[in-house]
Structure 1
Amino acid sequence: MNAHAETKLSAGGPADRKREAEQQHTYNGLSGAANTALVVVFALLSLACLYPLLLVVAVSFTDEQSIVAHGYNIVPRQFSLYAYRYLFDDASQIFRAYGVSIAVTLVGTLGSLLLTSLLAFPLSRRDMPYRNTLAFAVFFTMLFSGGLVPWYLVYNAAGLNDTLWALVIPHLVAPFNVIIMRTFFANTIPVPLIESAKIDGAGELRIFARIILPLSMPVMATIGLFQTLAYWNDWFTSSVFVSDNKLVSLQYLMYKTIYNIQYLNSGLVDASVAGNASTAIPTETVRMAMAIVGIGPIVFVYPLLQKYFVKGLTVGAVKG
């Protein structure tokens, strides 16, 4: 009993209480004041990143004449939905473009992850013949390309014009993504794990499907996010290969809408032909409304993959 009491007294002595007080005021080796300063700085940086988005939303709900008279404001001076009513005057076309973009993004991202991983995994294996030659070929295509005209002629000769495959195939395999995934496989997947699977009788495809892919979710999520953004924001491919309005992507539809508005407001259109159309177009507000519509569901992708994003880029970046 006496020993137990002495232990409790010694544990609650002045030195221990002082040490506990110091630990309460420090976090990650920093003082409480330093942590408070860091929180304030990062809060300000977050607001600085969020402010442009809030400004775009506010302007899209502002009356056009108020924008012309007073400029942009974070709080609408005169609330108006005219930009969205103008934009959704032909809602069926926008929803059709949404469907095209969603389908192309899903198919393209899944196909890109499959092909990229199938190419990156052999490149990460030191026992693969001609591994360095193939890796150089992948790296070379990241620096040099055949040019726009050969690119168009190849896809045109393949008969991909006015098809959804013309929007999917050009972005399927990106050399930069292959290099990232190869580095992850080489520095993260233990070689003895692959060798033990071979000893147990597993083939290469089974090793890849049952062992490699389940252990590679961070890099898969990272590359998937890259490809999702690439497919969703792509408008140039639609402008080159698609002439059917039913197959255009959402981003290209937004681009055409902006171009038509600029043309009507340029003064090159005969007034007898355009009538009062140009005066009724909300130029500034409709641009912001199109930006909000163009963002669409893509804003929800990054929060879902955020926990994998940094890990996928850093794990295996430096070989331990």
Structure 2
Amino acid sequence: MRRLKSGNGQASARNRISRSYSDRIFDIVNLFVMLVLLVVFVWPLWFVVIASFSDPNEVWMGNVVLWPKGFTLISYETLLEYKRIWVGYGNTLFYTVVGTLVNLVMTVCGAYPLSRKDFMPRHFFMFLFMLTMYFGGGLIPTYLVVSGLGLVDTRWAMIIPGAVSIYNIIITRTYFMNSIPASLQEAATLDGANSFQYLMRVVLPLSKPIIAVIGLYYAVGHWNDFYTALIYLYNEDLMPLQSFLRDMLMSTKMTLNNLSGLDTATVELKTHLAQTLKYSVIIVSTVPVLCIYPFIQKYFVKGVMVGSVKG
């Protein structure tokens, strides 16, 4: 018996040593893969930042790799001299704030009734909503509808046509169904609360994670939207930031195509500056959104995971 126990103990010790060795190999390989992925995803972002603060000549020659070379703000100065950019910032802030509020109101108003089991036609309306995810009228019919409503060349053309996302309605509906206990509705009804009071005082305060998530989705969509303005807007005073930045880059390219009559040094400076200007545009257009994300990060993962457990 002692020999048998001794043999079993030695075998288990060998297994522990083998598992420990295998775990160490796995950890090393996993760490190496994560470091490679970190470099692949982080370095391009870091390069955009350092290139925007580097000497255009150094960027053009490929000398900027890990740190800025010849620190300068000339690209940002050139960008800020484009006065229309402040008009674009104001318009984009309006479209993002007002558009996101409209999106959240429409999404909650669509998702809440569909999550109520006592709302009998919820399956019918859910079918109609999902049908729009697979079939659409196309650009021309959509433009005719927007034009018929008198929204062309108005601020509301950037907000009303995309006032709601069916995907976000489904996610929000699922969150309401799975995360808000039915007993809360019964308790609120016994206390004399109607459906609107129950929604405002019980459901919404408990739904901060999903509201933060879909709010971020909508806000980023409005902030980056230039295609809608390209279709529906003609007045420059209504253009969003992304349209002005796009026009500025396009005008820079057109200027580079007409450099005849300038001396070689000026041509070289404008060419190199146009290259660096692209990185400054990226920074200017993305930093505001990046500043918002840390404040809602704690809700982000929770909202997505809880709201997507069941369909």
Normalising by structure 1, we get a TM-score of: 0.81
Per the TM alignment, residue 190 of structure 1 is displaced from its structure 2 partner at its CA by 1.1
Q: Which amino acid aligns with 2:270?
A: A
2:80 maps to 1:64: no
**What corresponds to 1:216 in structure 2?**
207
Per the TM alignment, residue 66 of structure 1 is displaced from its structure 2 partner at its CA by 2.5
Change (3 A) 1:44 1:304: farther
Aligned length: 288
Kindly provide the CA deviation profile for residues 3-62 of structure 1, in whole angstroms up to 9, marking residues without a partner as x: xxxxxxxxxxxxxxxxxxxxxxxxxxxx89977886776566445432211100111122
Aligned counterpart for 1:280 among listed residues 263, 267, 270: 270
CA distance in 1, matches of 2:308, 2:234: 43
Change (3 A) 1:288 1:117: same
Per the TM alignment, residue 301 of structure 1 is displaced from its structure 2 partner at its CA by 1.4
CA distance in 1, matches of 2:26, 2:90: 49
**What corresponds to 2:241 in structure 1?**
250
**What corresponds to 2:161 in structure 1?**
170
Aligned-pair RMSD on alpha carbons?
A: 2.8
Per the TM alignment, residue 258 of structure 1 is displaced from its structure 2 partner at its CA by 1.5
Equivalent pair of 1:171/1:231 in contact (CA under 8 Å)? no
Kindly provide the CA deviation profile for residues 95-127 of structure 1, in whole angstroms up to 9, marking residues without a partner as x: 221111111111111121111011101111122
CA distance in 1, matches of 2:287, 2:309: 36
**What corresponds to 2:71 in structure 1?**
79
2:174 maps to 1:183: yes
**Larger mean Cα displacement after TM superposition, 156-165 or 75-84:** 75-84
Which consecutive residues of structure 1, in runs of 5 or more, have no partner in the other structure?
A: 1-30
Per the TM alignment, residue 87 of structure 1 is displaced from its structure 2 partner at its CA by 1.4
**What corresponds to 1:53 in structure 2?**
45
Normalising by structure 2, we get a TM-score of: 0.83
**What corresponds to 1:3 in structure 2?**
none
Q: Which amino acid aligns with 1:52?
A: P
Aligned counterpart for 1:230 among listed residues 218, 221, 241: 221
1:123-138 to structure 2, matched below 5 A, reads 123-138=114-129
CA distance in 2, matches of 1:222, 1:192: 26
CA distance in 2, matches of 1:36, 1:270: 55
Q: Which amino acid aligns with 1:255?
A: R
Aligned residues with identical type, % of pairs: 35
CA distance in 2, matches of 1:107, 1:34: 50
Change (3 A) 1:279 1:154: farther
**What corresponds to 1:16 in structure 2?**
none
Per the TM alignment, residue 65 of structure 1 is displaced from its structure 2 partner at its CA by 2.7
CA distance in 1, matches of 2:32, 2:301: 23
Aligned counterpart for 1:146 among listed residues 123, 137, 145: 137
